[in-house]
Structures are given as structure tokens and as C-alpha cells.
Structure 1
Amino acid sequence: MSSSSFAERIEQAPELVVEAEDRLAQQDFAGAIALLEPAFQAGVDSPELVAALIKAYEGAGDSAKREMTMAVALEKTAESPLKLRIAYAEAAMTRKDWPAAIERWQSIIDRDEPFPPQIYLRQARALLAAEQFAEALRVVNLALEKQPGNTTLADLKNVIASHKAKKFQLAAHKLAAPIAIRWEVDEGQKQITNLESFRHYRIRGWVDARQDQRPELIASTHAGTDTLGLTAVEPSAPYQEAGWMFEHTFDLSRGLTLGVRLEGGKAYECLRFSLAPVMEVIEGREGWLFLANDTNASIDQFTGKRLLTDDETHQWHRFSAELAPLQQQRSLLFLIANSKEKVRPEYYPFEKADITTTEQVSAILQQAEVDYANPVAAMQAVSDSYYQTDTHWSGRGAYLAFVACMRYFGLDDDFDSLYDFEQRELVGDLGSKIDPPAKSLSTAAVFQEKSGVACRFSNHLPGTGNITIFENSRPRYTRTLLIFGGSSSNAGGFALLFAHIFQRVVVINLPGSYVQEIVDHEAADYVILQTNERYLATPGRILQTLDDANLDGALRGISASERIKLLERMNRYAPCEPYHSFMTALLAPSEAVST
């Protein structure tokens, strides 16, 4: 195209756009494209022309040209409109190109501060679809920091967490072939575990082929086929005859077929691995959902099939003997967050045994004269203390546990006047395990006065080792509460109920444990050791220092890049010692696991 004709097109561009807009209004998309496309291809890329052409392609149903036009426009224009970049990311979402969508959402996050909070939501959905569960949780947590009361985000977090924790069982099927492959997994590996564990699964095996057949191992996955080496094995114990051995790490997340190719090119499929989802939810009466096949064997605990072993009984006696003198030194309460089936047995499809783990532990605590709270009767007396689609107590249930603790601490305020309760529809950690996710009504406790609560510090660790500190500029009591607990410490806003009352509340995710160093540092007026009822088979630990908690294990599998992001989030808070230094050392890149 000559320079004069290009100049003419630039000059005519505003008129073309006006005429194209008229045709778009008449839904003459082909006509609008015929007007605009030549100018765009000639290099005319004014925002108005590009927007009109994208709209024309969209109306004509030509998604490929629409996305291509957006890509060209974004490449040419450094300061492209946010609306265009969002549309470009949504185009990748529409065609389910999750890696492209994730990258495009991230470019918006990197460039457009502040940006609409929904950007985090969309990126988290793309990460979920791409099965990048840890990263999806990180992103949705960032969104919840900006919108802590957003139930859509809370529901999505539950769905992501359920996908991350979802368990699968590994099965191997021998195929009809003249050559056999025998196999075993590395010691310590589980054949029932989450999907992430199966992405890097080590298999040791043997091929029953003669030395002169010189076989090769063929591994076929969704990503393609690889040829792997074999090591010749001489006929000696424990192998009774000659053969070939291998030991390799495979991605079993979408299945694996192992085969053998003999010298000369003859190939056979011999062994196929597949994953079957393990049922994690059972439905009781009237649509109530309960946990199933969990590592704590909650059904067997309820029915009395799973009782304390001799070793576990000994551990509980030792723990209680250590806890009793600590309780004499300060106001300390051991709190059991009840299992849902204990609170709502009328909906549970199994019969409770007279003696369960809970009764055994209670007897040991009583014998050691340890004060503890098991608020099951209070929970049973209130219909909305738990809800259909979650294992944890609701806001109402959390409030009942809160009142039980406050009464134990000798605080007899009229707490009922401070809190009101609202109904909210939530997915919950059980509803999120169903496809599509199931929702039910839950109660939320709402503080009725002006709150001075702010998050002073968080290390943002998921699960064990999480440290969150709340400070209150308008406390009723200028005192400090320390909670060593598990997931129920946050469920229903349990910790926040105290944060509205006390000046400082420190919550550390170490269920039922006690760390002397932290108690001393905080000069804690009150201490709660909280554990979930289904964890009662194993007592907590009485530790001297936070180092003794061995949180390295909680960080296993967190990559170097994820650790850096955790440090970045933690560093948004002013340093809060000793927690900041402890976590900085723990998350140091030199200690990190590479991606």
C-alpha cells in the first residue's frame, strides 16, 4: 500500500468508524467488518476503530479474528485500555486455554494497580481449571484480603481446597501381553492420596524379558510417549531369574500405560495405571452431608470401631500429666470442637457406640484433673449450630463455644447483646466436594458495636503453622488471648469473636498444642488449646519453642516461587517479632524446594 493511500485511510478512519457503528447498530456485522478490516490491516489502529472491529467480529461469531485483533492492538499500544486487556483474558477463558488465561490475568495484576477485585476471582477460576490448586488458593486468599465478606470468594476457596485435598486411589491393571511388568512403589508412598502426590510418583519395577531380547520401557501418558532405559538384573536373590529393572518418576494424574518394546521393534502394552476418586462425602437424612473416608476414620470413631491404641492411650496420659500443671499457672482451657455427627446424630446414617475415642480421652483428662470444654450439649440444643454442607460449626456454633470459653475465664458479660446473627447461603467444605457444589443456609455472628479490630500480622501459611494476630483499638478488656487451634479456630469467625472483646488475639494453627515460648512472649492472660473431635486419637504437644513445632514439614511441597510470594505477602505488615524473623528464616529461598 502506498503512503498516500495509508494517509488517506488514517484521515478517513473517523468516518469509517461512524459508518461502522451505524452498521453495528443494524447488526450488519459483515458490512462493518468490510469497512474496518482493510484499514486495520493497513496499520490504522485507533482505539475507536479497534473497538468497533472487535465488536463486529464478536457479532459475526468470528472469535479467532476477534482475539487476533485484540492481540495485535495490545502489542502495538503500550497504554492499552484495561477493558481491552480484560476482554483478551476472557477470550482465553472462553476457549479454555487456561495457561493463556492465567498469564493474561497476571499481566493485568502486574500492570493495573488498583484493578477490579474480580480479576483475582477470574484468575483463580482459571488456575482451578488448570488444576494448579495451591496457586489458585493463594490468589483467592489475596482477593479475600480485599473483600473479606465476599461469599462468592469464600465458596470458591472451599471448592479449590476440596479439589486440592480430594483423594484418589491408585489401581494397576495387567494387560494381555507375552511379557509381564511387576511393580512396587517407593516405601512411604501412599496408594490413596491427593492428586498432587500422584504428579511425581516413583515406581520401581521389573520386566520379565530375557537378556538377549534387549527390551526398552515405553511410558505413555496424556502428554505423549517416552522411551525409558532398563537395567539388566543378574539371576541372584531376591530375583530368581534374569530380567530388567527400572525406577522412574511418573505423572499419574491422568493415567499411565507401561509397555515393552523388544529388539527388532515388537512392542506390547503390559500394565495400565489409573486413578479412581475416593468417596469423601456421605449424604445423611434430609440432605445433611458428612465426612467419609477421611484419614481420621471419623465413621469408625463414631461407631466405636476405632478406639485408642495402647500407645495412643499412653501418649494421652503423658500429655495430660504435662498439661495439668500448666493449667494451674494460668487460665488455660482445652476445647473440643465437636464432630458434626456428634451434634446432629439424627441426620447421620450410623449408630453411635457407647464408648468412642472422645469418651476415652475425656476419662484421661478427668483423671489428670485437666479442665476441658466439650460443648456438645449446647450445640445439640441449638438447631443452627452446624449446617448441612460443612464439617465445622456455624457462626452460631462458634458463638456457643466462645461463650463457654468466656464463662470459664470468669467473664460474665451480656455477650448476647453484642452479637446478632444473619443467615447466609454457603457452599461449605462438604458441599464443595459435590459436583455441582451444594449450598445451605448458615448463620454468621455480626458484632453490633463499632469494631476496632485489625489484622496486625499473618504469615499466610495454609493450614498447620499459620500465625494470625488481631489487635483491637477499642477493646472491652485490655488483655491477650492465645489460641493454639486447628481449622475450627477460624470457622464461623470463632477467633474474631474474641478479637472484638480483647486487645490482642494470637491464633497459631497447632491443634491442641502448647508452645511455652509464645505464651511467655505474649504474657497471655488466657490460653485456649483447641482441637477438632476427629483428631482426638492423637494428642497435641507441649513444646518449649516454636522451632520445636518442626514446621518444615508443613512447607514440604511449597516451591521456591510460592515461598517468595508468601514472604511478599507477609512483608506487607510491619515486622511483628518474633514471628516475622521466624517465618523469614523458615521461608528463606535457600531452604526452598525447587519447582
Structure 2
Amino acid sequence: MAVYSIITQRVDSSNVSVPRWHLDYPSNGKSVDNAELSRDGLLFQGWVLNEESSSASLVILNGNEVLQIPISRSRPDVVKRVLKEEPENHPLLHCGFSERVKLKHSEFTLGLIQDGKFVELMNGSIEGKFQILEGKDGWLFLDNDTNKSIEQYTGKLKLSRTAQAEWKEYLVSLDGFSLSSGTPVCLLVAPSKEMVYEEYYPYSFSKKAPIQKLKELIPKSLNFILPIEELRNLEQRSFRVCDTHWTLHGARLAAQLVASKLSFKSIGELDVFANDIYQNRAVSGDLGSKLFPPQRHEEDNLTNFNYRRCVVFDNNIDNFGRIIVMYHQHAVIDETLLVFGSSSSYTMFHYLCRLYTSVVFIHTAGNVDHKVIDVVKPNCICVQTNARFVVKAPKFNDTVVNYIEKKKEQGRLDAPFTAEALPSGIARYIEYFKKISV
């Protein structure tokens, strides 16, 4: 659920004669969620002491609308504390207002109409937690995110020497593990959408961007996937307009590229999604939801298949530490794929679990847990991270237990889900996941 901050600023009216007034609510910096704004509207509550004989009307400028707010509420506290008079039967006793307004725009103005003139009292705005960069044709991008996406893209933030050394160690270890164990491994980096749809982005891509330096560090023998051109040339749009993540079509292509690298099959051999059915619907996404009103765009929704049907275990942990096991007996490849992935992996499940009989997902953003590898004994492994995360290298020796323990300390664990009937081969390692998740 989107949460916004209400930003208010009084307008200097020292050169204009206006009644004394005060806004009790909303206060500057007040948090409010989208459900309240959409369902009930924003509460404006306060008082206006019109001690002059001339009439004054309180109004809200809401886009091109002028909404009058009745000043009719009894406020004995104001009469007593501000006027220092007894409130009983006082002529200004009903100086209060309390009205909910369904705002249509992110900016609004509170003011008075007196003697036929409008006087501004306060300007306000509804702002999301993060600033959103608006590109061309309504495309939204990250702005002041913790990974400094803009600075990375423009080359102002480079891959530090320390990060380069850590990446090199990680990549060599990953490649060495694959070669020594005989387990096919691929590294999938989900590109930022500005790399794919740069025509909508207001900045120019720099050759000094961290992702460019990372590409130079990749061992030739390591299966590396950074599908910028593939996603750009996809027949369908590969990224969501109001979200940081790829569309289902982009996720489908990424899943096929992973399976192709790991199984040595062509994309054509893995094209089992030709009969998929999509339905168009308007959604806001992780960027559009941070604007007010939320910005939406039409995206394709897969209707004939959902990976949740294949889930046989889910520890229901939010973000890092999430473990999901999927089983689909009619998949193309009768193997177990282990994914150490991030948020971009989730939409890939709709396709990966139709490509592989068993898919085990660990949310670590590319960090590798060797205990999980030993328990699952996968046929192949995909480590997946996002391009904006590359300023910090993943860990080759990590443990998912640490993430789970942190969530336990924070009281952020829900009851794990386990299917009643489990394939014998999968039940073995699910017992381990249940043990560390409870």
C-alpha cells in the first residue's frame, strides 16, 4: 500500500488583512495511505476567527475546482485559549471546520475568499517516499533511490576499486565452482529499464557506468546474461511503464535465455508459451503508486497459468530470506533449477516452472548459500541480480539463515506454506527449509 507525506507551507499574508486561523490537520509531514485518500479523502480540520463584519469563505483549490469548506463547528477551546473569553454563547464559538476532500491532484491550496478577492493561506502537496523521475510519454523511472540509479547511468557514480575486486573474486569463485562441480551456472543481471528504453529517459548513458565496468570483469567461460538488446528488440514491450520491473513478456524472454544457457537448448526448443493468453489491465506499479493520484498504465496479465499453482513450499518471508519451491511434472526439462535471485525473478516463475520440473528460489539477490546447494543438489543454478545493485558485489559464501533470523527478530514472519502431498525428491530438502524458517 502506497504511503504519502503531506507537505504544507503557510503563505506570508503580512501585507493583507486576514482573520486569525490555524490548521490542526493535516500537519506538515503527516503520513497518509492511498486507501484513506481514495476512500475517504484528506481531512482538513482547524479554525478561522473572523472578527471583522465582512464575510469570509474558506476554500480549497483542487486542480480546476474550488471547494468551499463550511466554517460551522463549535470550538470552545479556541474561544477560551485564543480570545481568552468565555465560550458560552460567544458569537465566534462556531469558528471550526472539519471536512474531508477527495483530492484530484498532488498539489492543493487553502485560502479565503473575502470581499470578492482570493487570499492564499497555505500551499500543500502530497509526496511519495521516493521522488519519481518522469520521462517522455508518461514513462516513470527511479530518482533519489538508495542505489543512485541516475548517478550510475550517467557515470557520476563509478564502480569503486573495492567493488571491482570483490566482483572479480565473486565471479572467479562462481566460475570455478561451476567448472569443478560440473554444475551449469549462469549469472543473470536484469538491466534497468532506462538501459533498454533509453529514448524515454532524460539522461544519456555513460560508458563509465558501473554496469559497463562489470561486463569487463566477466570470465569468458561464465554464462553471463545481460539481455539489453534482446529486451529492446522483443516484439512486445519488455518493461512496465509505471514500474521498475520488466513485463511478463520480458520475464518470459529472460527465463528462456536462462534455460537456453543452462540446458544448451535453443530458444525455439524452449518456446512452449505460444498459446499463452494475456488480458490487458491498468496497473500502477512500484513507481506509479508513489505518485498521487497513482499513475497507471495498461499491462498484459497472464490468465491461463499462474506459478502459484505449482508452489509446494513458501516460507512467506518478505524480500531477503524468501524461499519458494515449485514443482511442475509436465515441464520441458526434467531437472531442478536453483535460483539465488531478486525481485525480478518472481515474474519469471510463470515460465521457469514450466521449463524445469522443480524450481527452488532463494531471495538473496545473487548471494550464494552453499548449504542450500548441498541440500537441494540442483542440476543447474541461476544467480540473478539487478543492474542497479551492481555497485556492491554479491557474496559467494552467504547463508540464508542470517536473513531469516533477522526477520524473526523483527517479528516479520508469517506461517510457512507446505503442500500436503510432496514429490519424494522434493520433500527431502523442504524439511530443511521448514526447519530454518520456523
Q: What TM-score do the two structures reach when normalised by structure 1?
A: 0.48
* 1:479-518 correspondence runs (5 A): 479-490=335-346, 493-518=347-372
CA deviations over 1:148-205 (Å, ceiling 9, x no partner): xxxxxxxxxxxx1x43xx7999xxxxxxxxxxxxxxxxxxxxxxxx99xxxxxxxxxx
Shift of 1:336: 0.6
Uncovered stretches (5+) of structure 2, i.e. residues with no partner? 8-30, 33-125
Q: Provide the residue aligned with 1:520 in structure 2.
A: 374
CA shift, 1:321, in A, is 1.9
Give the number of aligned pairs. Answer: 313
**Alpha-carbon distance in structure 2 between the residues aligned to 1:477 and 1:495:** 14
- Report the AA paired with residue 342 of structure 1: M
1:199-348 matched pairs, under 5 angstroms: 278-328=129-179, 329-348=182-201
Amino acid at match of 1:400: L
Aligned-partner Cα distance in 2 for 1:578–1:168: 48
8 Å Cα contact 2:270/2:332 also seen in 1: no
* Aligned residues of 1:331 and 1:526 also touching (Cα < 8 A): yes
Q: How far apart are residue 381 of structure 1 and its match?
A: 1.3
For 1:536-555, what aligned pairs fall within 5 Å after superposition?
536-543=390-397, 546-547=400-401, 549-555=402-408
The question of 1:459 aligning with 2:315 is answered: yes
Aligned position for 1:247: none
2:244 corresponding residue in structure 1: 391
Q: Residues of 2 paired with 1:379 and 1:325: CA distance? A: 29
Q: 1:360 aligns to what?
A: 213
What is the alpha-carbon distance in structure 2 between the residues aligned to residue 414 and residue 320 of structure 1?
A: 29
SS at match of 1:465: coil
What corresponds to 1:468 in structure 2? 324
Q: Does structure 1 residue 374 correspond to structure 2 residue 221?
A: no
Partners of 1:297 and 1:517 in 2: how far apart?
A: 33
In structure 2, the partner of 1:477 is 333
Letter of the 1:376 counterpart: I
Q: What SS does the corresponding residue of 1:531 show, helix, strand or coil?
A: strand
Question: Which stretches in structure 1 are left out of the alignment for 5+ residues?
Answer: 1-159, 170-193, 196-274, 588-595
8 Å CA contact retained: 2:342, 2:384: yes
Q: CA deviation at 1:393?
A: 0.3
Describe the superposition over 1:342-385 as per-residue Cα deviations: whole angstroms up to 9, x where unpaired: 1111111111112211011111114x743210000011113510
Name the structure with the higher strand share: 2
| Percentage of pairs with the same residue | 24
Q: How far did 1:473 drift?
A: 2.8
Normalized per residue, the structure richer in helix is 1
Aligned equivalent of 2:295: 438
Residue 427 (1) aligns with residue 284 (2): yes
Task: Tell me the amino acid that sits aligned with residue 443 of structure 1.
Answer: D
Structure of higher RCO (CA pairs closer than 8 Å, 6+ residues apart): 2
Alpha-carbon distance between aligned partners in 2 of 1:482 and 1:396, rounded to the nearest angstrom: 22
Q: Which residue of 1 aligns with 2:204?
A: 351
What amino acid sits opposite 1:418 in the alignment? F
Shift of residue 455 of structure 1? Answer: 1.1
Q: Is the 8 A contact 1:483 1:507 kept in 2?
A: yes
Aligned to 2:199, what secondary structure does the other structure show? helix
CA contact (8 A) 2:312 2:325 kept: yes
CA contact (8 A) 2:240 2:246 kept: yes
Q: Tell me which amino acid in the other structure corresponds to 1:464.
A: F
* Residues 453 and 500, structure 1, Cα contact 8 Å, conserved in 2: no
CA 1:570–1:385: 2 relative to 1, 3 Å = same
Alpha carbons of structure 1 residues 322 and 494: separation in structure 2 relative to 1, 3 Å: same
Task: Name which one, 1 or 2, has greater alpha-carbon Rg.
Answer: 1
Residues of 2 paired with 1:535 and 1:486: CA distance?
10
Per-residue CA distance 1:68-88 (angstroms, 9 max, x = gap)? xxxxxxxxxxxxxxxxxxxxx
Give the superposition deviation at 1:459. 0.3
Match of 1:570 in 2: 417
Give CA-to-partner distance per residue, 1:276-327, whole Å, 9 cap, x none.
8654211110100001111100010001011111211111111112111122
Change (3 A) 1:542 1:447: farther
Q: In structure 1, how many angstroms separate the alpha carbons of the residues matched to 2:135 and 2:398?
A: 43
Partner of 1:386, secondary structure, is: coil
Distance of aligned partners of 1:578 and 1:389 in 2 relative to their CA distance in 1, 3 Å threshold:
same
Letter aligned with residue 294 of structure 2: P
SS in 2 for 1:469: strand
- How far has the Cα of 1:425 moved from its partner? 2.2
Per-residue CA shift, 1:497-545, capped at 9, x if unaligned? 0111221111110111222222232221121100011001112112275
Matched, 1:411 2:265: yes
Flag the 1:480–1:573 CA change in 2: closer, same or farther, 3 A.
same
User: What is the CA-CA distance between 1:408 and the residue it aligns to?
Assistant: 1.0
RMSD of Structure 2 on Structure 1 (CA): 3.2
Distance 1:285 1:515, change over 3 A: same
Q: Helix, strand or coil for the counterpart of 1:542?
A: coil
The residue correspondences of 1:12-31 to structure 2 (distance < 5 A) are none
